[in-house]
A = this chain, B = another copy of it.
Amino acid sequence: MAENKVKFLPNEIEVSCDSGTNLLELAADAGVELKAVCGGAGSCGKCQVIVKEGEVNKLDQGNLSPDKLSQGYVLACKTEITSDVVIEIPPESRLSKHQILVEDDEDFLTEEELQIAEEVELSPIYKRLELELSEPSLVDNASDLERLYTEINRDIELPPLITPLSVLNELADHLRENDWKTQVSLTALNGNYEVSELISPDDENPDYGIAVDIGTTTLALDLVDLSTGQTVVSEGAYNKQANYGDDVIGRINFVTENEGGLERLHQAVIKSINELIDKAINKQGIEYSDIKTAVFAGNTTMSHLFLGIDPNNIRLDPYIPTANFIPPLKANELGINIKEEAWIHYLPGVASFVGGDITAGVLATELSNQESITLFIDIGTNGELVLGNQDWLMTCSCSAGPAFEGGGIEYGMRAMSGAIEYFGIDEETYEIKYSTIDDVPPIGICGSGLINLIATLNEVGIISRSGKFNEDLEHGRLRDREYEKEFLLVPKEEAGINEDIVITENDIKNLLRSKGAIYAGIRMMLKNMSLTEEFIEQVLVAGGFGNYINLDDAKKIGLLPDLPADRFKFVGNTSLKGAKKSLLSQEAFEQVNEIAKKMTYLELSAEDQSHAFTDEFVSAQFLPHTDLSLFPSVAG
C-alpha cells in the first residue's frame, strides 16, 4: 500500500493516502466538501471532479458523458487513488458557504420572530443557587451532603436530589474552604434534580448553554448566557455528513452500505458541532467548561446519527425509529466539547419523519397554546407539516424530496453564491433576466429560484398546467435532448460553469412532485380533521428556505394554500428557537415533551390513508392544482 500524495485545487489542500482510497471519502476527510446527493452510490452524478495530473482507478462512472470523461472528469465516489494526483473541484461540485440561518441575522427576521425569541421566562434547565449553610457542630452533625440538601430545599421542596461522585468528591473541601458558603448548580433529570457542580461563592462568571439545530444540511448554534437568556454568539455551518448523502435517505443508505458508515456519520456531525463550539467560545473568550448544558433539535435520522444509533429501520416499512424520546446523555459520552460532565438533551420527536426539530417548532411558535387553527410547514429536504391549536395537534411528513434544495434537478443547487434566485421572462421574446446570490455568474438555481421559475414558465405559457413544455412553442431556447426536452435559461458564455444552464421536463416533474406532496399532505390533514383550507387561521413557514421564497409564486404553483397574505408568517429557524427556549425554561423543556406526546402522527402510507393521499397527490401535481376552486386568487 504505497503512500500517494493528493492535491485538491483550487484550494491547494494536500493530503496523503494509501493506494485504493476512495476519492470522495478522502476529500471529506481532508475537509474538501463535495456535493454527494446519493451518498456515494454513483447515481446522482454531483460529485464530479477533474483529474488534472496522475492516474486513478475509475470504477463504474455512471451517467458521466463521454465528453466529460475525455476532459478528465470522474465521479469522486467511484474513483480510487492509485498514484500521486492533482484533483480540481469545479464550482458546481463544491459545497460552498452560504447564508445559514442563525438567529442574529436580524435582516432575515420578522418582528414576530424576534418576539418569539423574547417570550421566555428565564428559568434555565441548568440553574445556579447561592447558598449559605449552617456550620456543623456536635449537636448538628448532619453529613455535608445532607446539610447541602437541606439548604437547597429550604425555600422550595424540590424533587429528590442526586449527586454524582465527582461532586461528592469535592464537597467536603469546597464547603470548608468557602466557609460554608457556596453556589451549586442544579439540573433537572428524569424527575430528580442533580447537584451538577459546586461553584465558588464569589464566582460571578455566567453559565453558558448552547442550543443547536442539527439540520440535514446545515447546523445552527446559539451560545446563550443562561443568566440573562441572551444569545451571545450565533454560528452556522454545513453538516459534514453532507459529504455522505444529501438527504436522510442518502445518509441511511451510506450507513447500510458502508462498513463503519455509522461511525463516520456519527463522527461527522460531532465534528461539525465541535467546530461550531470552537468558533463560539473563541468569539466569546470562554472555555469549553463554561458551557454547562446543551439542547439539540433535529430530525429523527439526525438524532439517531447524533447518538450513533443505526437509523436503518427509519427507512424500512413500517418506518420505526429506535426512540423518539432520547434520554439525557453526558457530553463526554458523546464527545461534545463542552463541560465534560454536562448533560445533553435532544428534543423529542414523534415518528421516523417528524423529529425534534418539529416539536421544537411547535414550542417556539406557541402553536399549541393558541386558539386559532394553525398550519406549520417546514419545507426542507422532507417537508413536515403540523396542523392544530391548543386542543389538538396533528402532524405528517410528506416525502417532498430534496427538489427545493436542488436535489434531482439537473442545475438545482442550494441557496449559495452563484445560485439564481429570480427569473424574469419576457412574455413575447422569452428573453430571460435573472439575479444570483452575491451577483456572480450563475452556476445553478436554488429553491426560491425554482419556485419562481415554474410560476413564471407557466405564466408566460412555456409550460402547461401539467408541467409539460408547450408543444406549439418554437423557440431556440426549447431544445430536444435524449428522451425529453429542455429549456435554455443561461447560455454557457454567461454562466459561471462551462455549461448551459437549462431546465428539463424531468426537473419540472420533480418540482411538481415535491410541491404536490406538500400540498397533498396539507389536504390530508384537513380531511382527517374534516376541515377545509379556509379554517386555517395562520400559516407558519419555517426553515431557512421560507425566508427567501416569494409568497405569490408559492401560491401560484400550488405549494402553499391560497389564503390572504396576512395569514402567513415566515418564522425562521424554529428548530433552533425551540431548542433555545427549552434551554432557558424548565417549563418549556417539559412542554416540548408534552407536545411530542400529544401530537397525532398521520402516516400517509398507511392503508386507510394511502388511496386518498394518492388522489390528492395526483391532483396537486398540476399548476396550481386540478381543482382550481382551491386557488381562487391564482385562477381568477
Contact = CB atoms under 8 A, between A and B. Distances in A.
Contacts of A603: 138-139, 141
Nearest to A324: B143
Contacts of A606: 138-139
A20 interface: no
Nearest to A136: B320
Contact of A168 (B146, B162, B318, B327): B327
A392 interface: no
Number of copies: 2
A429 to B, nearest CB: 52
Contact of A601 (B141, B172, B333, B601): B141
Interface in A138-167: 138-139, 141-146, 159-160, 162-165
A310 interface: yes
Nearest to A312: B172
Interface in A165-199: 165, 168-169, 171-173, 176, 190-192
A319 interface: yes
Given A143-B321, A322-B144, A308 B164 contact: no
Contacts of A327: 162-165, 168
Nearest to A316: B176
Contacts of A333: 165
Contacts of A607: 138-139
B144 A605 contact: no
A226 to B, nearest CB: 24
Find the residue from A141, A308, A325 having the highest chain B CB count within 10 A.
Answer: A141
Interface string A300-318: 0000000111101100011
A635 interface: no
A203 interface: no
A322 B198 CA distance: 14
A608 interface: yes
Contact of A171 (B168, B172, B317, B322): B322
16 contacts: A141-B318, A141-B603, A143-B321, A143-B323, A143-B325, A144-B322, A145-B322, A163-B323, A163-B327, A165-B327, A168-B307, A169-B308, A171-B322, A173-B310, A191-B191, A192-B192
